Structure 1
Amino acid sequence: MTLTAKIKNVLDPLKSPSKADLKNALLQIDMKLDDLAQLPEPSEGKPYNRKLLYKNEEVELLVMNWSQLECAPHDHGNSHGWIQVISGSSLNSVYEVKGDSLPKELFYQYHHKGQYFYAPKKAVHKMKASNHTDMVTLHLYSPPISGMRVYDLEKCAACVVSDDCGAWWPDEQYQKLKEIKLTKKYTP
């Protein structure tokens, strides 16, 4: 069975999958770096390049090849999902956001090759490859991400980005669906 067929067999039956359903699907797919032919090179000046492996109305599966840059703090809109570290190590920072205040970093964690971590709905985080590793990650979200909010802590702003924009401040005006001015002070 080809990798594409295996992914389709595992993901097609999912309907409004739970946190456990999504993790179980990733475990069944059992993706390895060797499975990922023609992995996109990290984009110049961007934290990662991504390749869509599968998408339907319920889920999307993406692979990301990371540079040494970190992505911006962001949420996944109304989606939740799991991230699997296929190679390298990830430094994942988790934030708290109250209303329209600046996100406040709560903690960070390292995740190494073979580990999984969960991204709840509306949770804000940022990631980067740690220890100068060549990091590749696999992401399974439900529903497919739409309405992702990206934060620029220096500009004290956030914006809802188009589906073709990654977790960085948009380069193109059309990718900014809504820009939000944030209050500087975090209020617990």
Structure 2
Amino acid sequence: MKNLILSFCLLLFISCKIDSSKTETASTDSVFVQIAKSEPRNLTVYGPKLQENPYELKLETHTLSNGIYDLEMKMYLYHDAYYASPNEKKDLKGKFTFVVANNDFFTLENNLIETPLSAEKHDYYSSDYDPKWIRDNTSYKQKLEITSEEDFEVRGHIQFTIEPRCTLEKIPVFIKYEKGVMKFEIDGC
């Protein structure tokens, strides 16, 4: 019985082997096309183009009044990615944070304002709760008040751990004020 099964598997393996040097000829009415068996056929794929990265970060500046601005950070998540909210009570190292160097040009007012606000989720089977995970597209606003008349450029970074990839993301940014125009951008250097 073993010999029979072994012979059958060997025969199946030999018959399924594809010779890349052979080509097949397909005919359509009066046109003949040769396609090599080893070359993949070009197929059109329909549907949304998936992002390579699990997130996308966009920065914007909004003028509130003379010398007061909102710096907005928009996080777009893809492929079931998530990260910890800056409002999380537990001491997690990977929480979403916005850090700028100490300077005499402006002050950051209040904390980051998260929209939509994350919520705690309690486990019904224990007294523990899950951390405030951000699983939806979320924006953060940080109010900034200019305290100097001079033009300036201050560097900082946005930091968080993106899950489930489990990598610490540290994105360099700069805040630039020149000739009355405020810029808040990702530092590509």
TM-score, structure 1 as length reference = 0.21
Name the structure where helix makes up a greater proportion of residues: 1
Name the structure where strand makes up a greater proportion of residues: 2
TM-score, structure 2 as length reference = 0.21
